[in-house]
A and B are shown apart, each in its own frame.
Chain A
Amino acid sequence: MSKQHASVTNEHKINYILYLADSTLILSHRNSEWCGHAPIIEQDIALTNIALDLLGQARSFYQYAATLIGNNVTEDSLAYLRIENEYKNLLLTELPNDDWANTILKQFYFSVYQYYLYQQLLNNSDEQIVAIANKAIKEVVYHVRWSGEWVVRLGDGTAESHQRMKNAIENLKNYIGEMFIAADFETALQIDVNNIQQQWQEKVNATFAEATLPLPENIFNHTGGKNGVHTEYLGYILTEMQYLQRTYPNAVW
């Protein structure tokens, strides 16, 4: 009985770590699409740096998940050889970048979520989760400031930048709630999503007030990402990302 209980817990833990890894990997991949295309070079560099930080987090989580799974699973097999419905990332992270405003708002929502989530994870009972959260939070706080300052700059900027931010708010409004609807693995790991949601909302409210932007009206939430049910966009991302490894199995640099 106790053995069975232990294995269930382990499965939840693995799924939770994969959720963290997948969400950071997919947003990292999205951000890297801006490489060479951002409005000015400094911001091109900013987004690719953030992509690199997120990729570093993803690798740390995948490496840890791989040790828990065993059976010759590696960080690479987790990233390159799982199919769509095995991915557990938030739907928010797989949405297309669209314009600069939409990219910024997506990053801001996610970074603020990560910031309060990782603060909570600093008190987790798992040492390795604490180590990764502790390492990453210093970088995440930098992402919050960079993206938040852009939200204010665009919202309280020109008529066009303001309108584009409003469009972005509209685009993303149904993808916020998923962050705060606990999946089984979050409940099992006693993640307090309500506490994160409260702090997230306060930060977003304060930032939007400064940016003279309206808060999103949230009447419906798309969900499913945490359980492997995705938008059509994820398939395209994985097709591009996994192409080389699928076509030339075991290819290495």
Chain B
Amino acid sequence: MVNENNISIATIWSIIETIPDPEIPVITLKDLGVIRDVKIDDDNNIEVIITPTYIGCPAVDMMSMQIMQELAEHGYKNTKVTKILSPAWTTDWLSEEGKKKLKAYGIAPPNQKQIVCTPDLFQQEEAVQCPRCDSYHTKMIARFGSTPCKALYQCNDCKEPFDYFKCH
């Protein structure tokens, strides 16, 4: 779609899609699946719609700033970033490319979304693969990690402790 001044939505996407995630800089905002839409109105005002991974994720404000800044550097001044909650973000939106990058970086990528959304205690979660030696013989150390989206695991074979980008 091209409007009268030839700002195309595709151009805007190409500018913002390479912005790195502020907390896991090895993947981009596009890989993460948090950019939901780009809109341009008749007056060339640009609106980028993003959604947070977790509801209190402090990286969201940083993402908005990065998007505005990147667009400003390309000469686009009339921009705004709108945060929406619905539909709720899921790790199923993480790109295949993003999952590969996470693994290469030492973070186990999320498994396919499974039925973990029940309050039953001590559930056996699906095996998580060690990003270092590929073993599935791993154990969870802690449900929470250095960012809201990660849990702490350890490989029983190579003993590597690692972050797991938990399925959500």
Contacts and interface: CB of A to CB of B under 8 A. Distances in A.
Is A bound to B? yes
Contacts of B58: 52
A53 B120 CA distance: 20
B143 interface: yes
A60 interface: yes
A127 B58 CA distance: 24
Interface stretch (A10-18, A96-104, A145-153, A187-195): A145-153
In which size bucket is the chain B interface? Answer: 20 to 34
Interface string B39-76: 00000000000001011111000000000000000000
B146 interface: yes
A203 B120 CA distance: 9
A45 B163 CA distance: 14
14 contacts: A42-B142, A46-B143, A46-B144, A56-B54, A60-B55, A127-B86, A131-B84, A132-B55, A134-B85, A135-B55, A138-B117, A139-B148, A145-B120, A203-B119
A14 B146 CA distance: 35
Interface in A115-149: 115, 127, 130-132, 134-139, 141-142, 144-146, 148-149
A131 B84 CA distance: 9
A141 B117 contact: yes
Contacts of A56: 52, 54-57
Nearest to A136: B55
A57 B54 CA distance: 10
A55 B57 CA distance: 10
B26 interface: no
B56 A45 contact: no
Nearest to A199: B119
Interface string B63-104: 000000000000000000000111111000000000000000
A212 interface: no
Interface string A164-191: 0000000000000000000000000000
Given A42-B152, A130-B86, A135-B86, A145 B119 contact: yes
In which size bucket is the chain A interface? Answer: 35 or more
A163 interface: no
Contacts of A145: 119-121, 123, 143
Interface of B: 52, 54-58, 84-89, 116-123, 141-146, 148, 152, 168
The 4 nearest A-B residue pairs measured at CB: A56-B56, A56-B55, A42-B142, A131-B86
Which of A54, A127, A138, A152 has the most B CB atoms < 10 Å from its CB?
Answer: A138
Interface of A: 42-43, 45-46, 49-50, 52-57, 59-60, 112, 115, 127, 130-132, 134-139, 141-142, 144-146, 148-149, 152, 203, 207, 210
A137 B55 CA distance: 10
A148 B119 contact: yes
Contact of A132 (B85, B89, B144): B85
Contacts of B141: 42
Nearest to A127: B86
A136 B52 CA distance: 11
A246 to B, nearest CB: 24
A149 B144 CA distance: 14
A126 to B, nearest CB: 12
Contacts of A60: 55, 85
A131 B117 contact: no
Nearest to B123: A145
B119 A112 contact: yes
